[in-house]
Chain A
Amino acid sequence: MTQTNGPASDQGAGHLTEPTSRQAGDSGEPFLVVEDLTVRFPTADGLVQAVSGLSYSIEQGSTLGIVGESGSGKSVSSLAVMGLHDAKRTQMSGSIRVGGTEVLGLSNDRMRRIRGREVAMIFQDPLTALHPFYKVGAQISEAYRAHHDVSKAKARAKAIEMLDRVGIPQARTRVDDYPHQFSGGMRQRAMIAMALVNDPSLLIADEPTTALDVTVQAQILDLLQELQKDFNSAIIIITHDLGVVAEMADDVMVMYGGRAVEYGRTREILVHPEMPYTWGLLASVPDVTADPDARLIPIQGNPPSLLRPPSGCAFHPRCPHTGKVPGDLCRTTLPELTRGEHGDEHLKRCHLPDPSAIYEQEILPEIAPDLVEMTVKDEFPAEVGTGLVEDSPSDDALPKER
């Protein structure tokens, strides 16, 4: 419950355990606390070290973004929170506390009552995540009836209400549609309706917009933010897209090779990143305003093997800055998660001395020369992301005929 079983890698994690103004709840503990979580899968080729020593927490009503590439452990760690790993094929250790209850090692039957009730999840591809053979409404009311002892008619009414709530037009008739009769965006709305039907305290969204079109992505992100206000649930948004994180998340955790490599307030991470992998991610995202003639700056090499992870820092084989670290430290020693240069709430896992200077002098001028001065003087507003913008054309301006 307290710091007694805090893992070694957690020593610098000031804001993980110390109460801050953001915390709520009776016990003083955040709604979800993950401590030293390790997930491994024994396979024929060896032990896949999917997640190692992961710790984070999330408050009611706030949003955590988990960023990483495929194989970084971002999805695996969230499935562990949901208890969705097959216990027979997974080795897990550490602690996951949902609303004060330890769920790691919980019996399947007790876990079942938390799943969908306390913690709900939406997935990347709503087409495959919805059962193709059952009506959308039936799938939503099934989720409701799994945790509420109500009649089918009541559950159906609830499903209609939820579909309406997530912006499905004519919910009363669409409730009897099959998933394939919905468009991609509507399917994801239906998934969100299904996830929120039991009013969960935590919603895990695993790449919720990756499979969707750009204009629909924006709709879904807006919807999630809007619903979060109404339901006051915590959201974990798992994504490879820093743009999504920038718009949605209060906190960001960057994962690489199964470990958190940088963790803190979104603004801090995006304005003062201190870990070369985060720099690489920021640099490699093309954006619509950058110099089109400049080459994109990729991260060289390939993602690490989880069967035989690199020694020391998992990122060192791809890191262009290892030369700046004295000795052979990057190759030999795994860096701890330690406090960054910009406040207590910023953790990073890197040996590099003076990362801010390197970022401001070497990295930023290449990826966003216009931002160098602002970054050095730290002139950015305290709040990042813009949340819901009110500047979109109002409904009155839209054509009447639909």
Chain B
Amino acid sequence: MTESEVAPASSAAGQAPESYESAEHQSAAPPRFDRHAEAILSVTDLKKYFPVKSSGLVRRTIGHVQAVDGVSFEVRKGSALGLVGESGCGKSTTGRLITRLYDPTAGSMMFQGKDLATLSHKAMTPMRKEVQMIFQDPYSSLNPRHTVGTIVGTPLRVHNVVPDKQVLGRVRELLEVVGLNPEHYNRYPNEFSGGQRQRIGIARALALQPKLLVADEPVSALDVSIQAQVVNLLRDVQQEFNIAFLFIAHDLAVVRHFCPEIAVMYLGKIVEIGDRESVYDHAHHPYTQALLSASPDVKQAAIGGRRERIRLEGDVPSPINPPSGCRFRTRCWLAQDICAKQEPPLLQIGKSHKVACHFASELNQTPPRPVTTGLLGVDDQGNHDAGSTPTTLSTNPGYDDEWYDLKSKSFVKA
């Protein structure tokens, strides 16, 4: 096993000359988040349930893995939405639903006026040009028996984007764009290192000039120093071609560098979504706060200081039989009766900030009473309150101009 650890890197670096770096052209800052910008993808109440079969004589469906259970969000033109969460939270499933590697159970995914969720596989084919995917593992996602030229050129041929004679030229352009030597088109993936392979994967995804790129953990299999190269490359590519990104990752720090808008998922649901500043600097969901505090911070630790660390107990519960009410309550230190009885709605609490928590607040400012009682028509314990009526809450996947202000406990307008 030791040989395998050292061999790929050595063979790659041994034969390939210094990779062509595109980092020289320092680009401008990434796009700022603009909640009024036009959405290229609008996902509403997307669900994916995987059936669980019984083991009896007749195989009945006895339950469902609720991998994705009603998520709504928008990806804005040329922007990037980060989808963060731990394994099993449904973030990768969401990515695969959008690229229709899975068929959704329910919900809609509007993309350029078409609902990707209901398109037949045939009608989906032209859409696949517009929505491309980058995968996590640069080793298993490239066919080892195909040359780089074939890998990058195949989408061009399949979709008849350019005449056959021009495919090679286009492939070389693409390789140059992603910082690889364009003359290496006839090499095989095993001659490249992990970072270079991920560049090949990016070139393949770029070949069809997609409008939307779903990047599923694009850097988590790479070494730290290489991660930064690839993140920078993706940033350049995004600005050069004005591609919108759905950036799926478990690493909050990487996402923060890439995405002006971030959604945090837990057990198939979005628990918090908002612009970067709201999520990172004013996280209102305890799970987001826990995630933020758990990621190790070199520079802070080096100087002896460390942010308060929240230690979550236990593991993520099973998505077959998720906890009632709020799914995070079994690991949440704020949880009370209401959390088991009522599912907190994903409530817009700021200009571009939504959170699903009965006790939504910044860290250490937990309100004494649940903030959602008035809206849900329940009392503090989560029982139905005969005296009040539930408010109809907006289901807009984007952000409304009117939102619920936590301080005044009333709706305010922008």
Residues of A in contact with B (beta carbons under 8 Å apart): 41, 43, 45, 48, 50, 69-71, 73, 75-76, 79, 85, 89-90, 183-186, 213-219, 222, 240-244, 246-247, 267, 270-271, 280-290, 292-293, 295-308, 317, 367-368, 371, 374, 380-381, 383-386, 389, 391-393, 395, 397-399, 401-402
- 26 A-B interface contacts by CB (under 8 A): A50-B6, A69-B224, A71-B10, A184-B87, A213-B316, A217-B294, A222-B311, A240-B223, A243-B301, A246-B296, A270-B302, A284-B228, A286-B254, A287-B298, A288-B295, A290-B299, A295-B232, A301-B21, A302-B196, A304-B13, A368-B299, A374-B303, A385-B304, A389-B308, A399-B329, A399-B333
Q: List 7 A-B pairs, minimum CB-CB distance, nearest first.
A: A243-B296, A246-B301, A270-B302, A298-B228, A305-B14, A299-B225, A296-B228
Total contacting residues, chain B, CB less than 8 A:
79
Across-interface contacts of A41 in B (CB, < 8 A): 2-3, 6
* Residues from 1 to 47 in B contacting A, C-beta threshold 8 Å: 2-3, 5-7, 9-14, 16, 18-19, 21, 23, 26-27, 29-30
CA distance in complex: A343, B228 (Å): 32
B11 & A215 in contact (Cβ 8 Å cutoff): no
Contact of B13 among A75, A90, A302 (CB under 8 A): A302
A70 & B5 in contact (Cβ 8 Å cutoff): yes
Closest chain A residue, CB of each to CB of B28: A293
User: If the complex has contacts A286-B254, A289-B300, A399-B330, are A215 and B3 also in contact, measured as CB distance less than 8 A?
Assistant: no
A247-B301, A270-B298, A285-B224 given; 6 more Cβ-contact pairs under 8 Å:
A69-B226, A75-B2, A241-B296, A286-B257, A371-B299, A392-B310
CA distance in complex: A383, B194 (Å): 36
B11 & A69 in contact (Cβ 8 Å cutoff): no
Across-interface contacts of B19 in A (CB, < 8 A): 301-302
- CB of B65 within 8 A of chain A? no
User: If the complex has contacts A70-B223, A308-B14, A380-B302, are A398 and B313 also in contact, measured as CB distance less than 8 A?
Assistant: yes
User: If the complex has contacts A217-B294, A241-B224, are A302 and B195 also in contact, measured as CB distance less than 8 A?
Assistant: yes
A48 & B306 in contact (Cβ 8 Å cutoff): no
User: If the complex has contacts A214-B86, A296-B231, A371-B299, are A386 and B252 also in contact, measured as CB distance less than 8 A?
Assistant: no
Closest chain B residue, CB of each to CB of A210: B220
Across-interface contacts of A302 in B (CB, < 8 A): 9, 12-13, 16, 18-19, 193, 195-196, 226
CA distance in complex: A297, B231 (Å): 10
Central interface residue in B9, B18, B280, by most chain A CB within 10 Å: B9
User: If the complex has contacts A380-B304, A384-B304, A386-B306, are A399 and B224 also in contact, measured as CB distance less than 8 A?
Assistant: no
- CB of B291 within 8 A of chain A? yes
Closest chain A residue, CB of each to CB of B194: A70
Across-interface contacts of B320 in A (CB, < 8 A): none
CA distance in complex: A381, B332 (Å): 33
Contact of B295 among A214, A216, A281, A384 (CB under 8 A): A214
Contact of B227 among A284, A295, A368, A392 (CB under 8 A): A284
Q: State how many angstroms separate the Cβ of A131 from the closest Cβ of chain B.
A: 16
Contact of A70 among B9, B27, B276, B301 (CB under 8 A): B9
Across-interface contacts of A395 in B (CB, < 8 A): 313
- CB of B265 within 8 A of chain A? no
Q: State how many angstroms separate the Cβ of A271 from the closest Cβ of chain B.
A: 6
Across-interface contacts of B252 in A (CB, < 8 A): 214, 288
A243 & B2 in contact (Cβ 8 Å cutoff): no
CA distance in complex: A215, B314 (Å): 9
Interface string of B262-293 (1 = CB under 8 A from A): 00000000000000100010000000001110
Q: State how many angstroms separate the Cβ of A249 from the closest Cβ of chain B.
A: 10
Contact of B257 among A292, A393, A398 (CB under 8 A): A292
Interface string of B151-195 (1 = CB under 8 A from A): 000000000000000000000000000000000000000000111
CA distance in complex: A398, B316 (Å): 15
- CB of B110 within 8 A of chain A? no
Q: State how many angstroms separate the Cβ of A298 from the closest Cβ of chain B.
A: 3
CA distance in complex: A386, B303 (Å): 10
CA distance in complex: A374, B303 (Å): 9
Across-interface contacts of A270 in B (CB, < 8 A): 298, 301-302
B333 & A393 in contact (Cβ 8 Å cutoff): yes
Central interface residue in B7, B23, B302, B315, by most chain A CB within 10 Å: B302
Across-interface contacts of A280 in B (CB, < 8 A): 225
B227 & A215 in contact (Cβ 8 Å cutoff): no
A247 & B10 in contact (Cβ 8 Å cutoff): no
CA distance in complex: A243, B292 (Å): 14
User: If the complex has contacts A43-B3, A214-B86, are A305 and B10 also in contact, measured as CB distance less than 8 A?
Assistant: yes
Closest chain A residue, CB of each to CB of B30: A293
B295 & A303 in contact (Cβ 8 Å cutoff): no
B333 & A298 in contact (Cβ 8 Å cutoff): no
A303 & B13 in contact (Cβ 8 Å cutoff): yes
Q: State how many angstroms separate the Cβ of B220 from the closest Cβ of chain A.
A: 10
CA distance in complex: A85, B334 (Å): 50
Closest chain B residue, CB of each to CB of A299: B225
CA distance in complex: A281, B340 (Å): 44
Across-interface contacts of A240 in B (CB, < 8 A): 223-224
Q: State how many angstroms separate the Cβ of B80 from the closest Cβ of chain A.
A: 12
- CB of B375 within 8 A of chain A? no
A287 & B297 in contact (Cβ 8 Å cutoff): yes
